[in-house]
């Protein structure tokens, strides 16, 4: 076992650590609280490194039986800190964006293969990298205030952090729909489609936490029984998109984004349904590159393993920040997050202009030394050990 301390992970100032992630010992449990409520608990590099350090330690600590992950304030996590990437592009940040991305994907892999139960408590926004940090875990508890979304295609990126794996395994073609539209699901919908394992009313979360922290055994049966005691049945509301799964399957089963859009337009012309009109509007205003990369990523993921999906997504993300075929990621951040004019100027401007050659280029494997290293023993292959770091340093 390689210890994180032995490979010289960057050291965090105690003050920053305390501000961004709060770690607590609660009997046989350990609690991680994402603690940047003013910025919707968006994940930055320091938070990822802190979580890596503790997760590795806890996995082999016999005194730790399970881990609880939650957010401080009204949201769980709104995803990654996009301004960090925008500032790095401008040269305002000396941090290697490659290292940031590598460490997050590397953590996501270990979350999905963690040897002890992880329990996520979801309330408020559960988006992007925040979903990636917890969906692969054993238990996901949603409240009536939880709101899931993967809006990356609208930003010129792709659904990332392992989401191609679990979105592609949702019922039917719901994953393609959620990825291409960024549609938000509430807690009841999250439970119904399988993203959440339990639904607990927000007012009962403190009581649930108290009972979890008083447990003397953290075996799966005990945890399941405890969570089941607090979980209540729930069904999607009348206007839920989950009542339209047959239509979604018929529309989003097509072989390309262009074919999906064409099918949507045919259905709207025939039935004039408001929800179809809104989906058409969303797709037409999203990044053509982001849409096509996202679609292909999810379709390919249906036949890939967890590790294969992460390695593919890592390539896609690196190519996005390098602008290999498009700078839409930075333009999306500028328009939606920084300037907030909501008028991105995509390039290419249409789906037809994103060529098969472009897609082939961003999906093709890197030289092995530049790939995401996901091998045994556990927790080896950290960015600081990789050939990329040795060859390129913090470029």
Helical (H) or strand (E) element with 159: none
Residues assigned a catalytic role: 80, 129, 152, 160
Cβ(56)–Cβ(4) below 8 Å: yes
Helical (H) or strand (E) element with 39: none
Distance CA 359, CA 27 (A): 50
Instruction: Identify each DSSP E strand in the chain by its residue range.
Output: 21-26, 29-34, 66-71, 118-122, 125-127, 139-142, 147-149, 185-186, 198-199
Cβ(78)–Cβ(128) below 8 Å: yes
Cα separations in angstroms, 356 against 57, 180, 311, 363: 44, 18, 20, 11
Residues 6+ apart with CB under 8 A from 35: 18, 19, 20, 21, 22, 41, 72
Distance CA 224, CA 139 (A): 8
* Sign of the torsion formed by the C-alpha atoms of 82, 88, 94 and 99: positive
In the block, which residue shows the tokens 């963690």?
114
* Sign of the torsion formed by the C-alpha atoms of 158, 47, 31 and 378: positive
Cα separations in angstroms, 179 against 25, 155, 357, 379: 36, 12, 22, 30
């Amino acid at each position: 076992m390689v210890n994180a301390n032995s490979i010289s992970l960057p050291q965090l100032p105690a003050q920053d650590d305390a501000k961004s992630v709060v770690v607590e010992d609660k009997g046989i449990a350990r609690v991680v609280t994402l603690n940047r409520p003013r910025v919707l608990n968006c994940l930055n590099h320091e938070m990822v490194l802190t979580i890596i350090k503790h997760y590795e330690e806890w996995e082999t600590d016999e005194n730790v039986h399970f881990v609880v992950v939650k957010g401080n304030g009204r949201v769980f996590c709104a995803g990654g800190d996009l301004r960090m990437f925008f500032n790095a592009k401008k040269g305002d940040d000396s941090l290697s964006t490659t290292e940031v991305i590598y460490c997050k994907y590397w953590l996501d892999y270990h979350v999905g293969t963690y040897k002890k139960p992880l329990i996520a408590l979801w309330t408020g926004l559960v988006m992007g990298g925040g979903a990636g940090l917890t969906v692969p875990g054993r238990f996901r508890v949603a409240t009536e205030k939880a709101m899931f979304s993967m809006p990356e295609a609208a930003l010129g990126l792709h659904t990332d952090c392992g989401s191609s794996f679990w979105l592609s395994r949702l019922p039917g073609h719901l994953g393609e729909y959620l990825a291409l539209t960024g549609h938000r699901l509430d807690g009841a919908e999250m439970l119904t489609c399988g993203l959440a394992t339990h639904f607990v009313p927000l007012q009962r979360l403190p009581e649930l936490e108290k009972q979890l922290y008083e447990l003397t055994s953290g075996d799966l049966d005990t945890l399941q029984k405890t969570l089941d005691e607090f979980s209540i049945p729930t069904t999607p509301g009348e206007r839920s998109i989950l009542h339209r799964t047959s239509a979604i399957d018929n529309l989003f089963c097509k072989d390309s984004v262009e074919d999906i859009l064409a099918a949507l337009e045919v259905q709207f012309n025939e039935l004039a349904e408001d929800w179809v009109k809104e989906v058409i509007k969303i797709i037409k205003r999203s990044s053509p590159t982001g849409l096509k990369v996202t679609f292909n990523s999810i379709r390919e993921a249906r036949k890939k393993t967890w590790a294969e999906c992460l390695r593919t997504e890592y390539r896609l993300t690196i190519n996005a920040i390098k602008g290999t075929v498009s700078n839409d990621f930075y333009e999306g951040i500028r328009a939606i997050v920084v300037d907030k004019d909501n008028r991105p100027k995509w390039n290419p401007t249409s789906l037809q202009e994103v060529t098969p050659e472009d897609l082939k280029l961003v999906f093709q494997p890197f030289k092995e030394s530049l790939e995401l290293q996901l091998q045994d023993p556990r927790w080896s292959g950290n960015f600081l050990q990789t050939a990329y770091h040795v060859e390129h340093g913090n470029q």
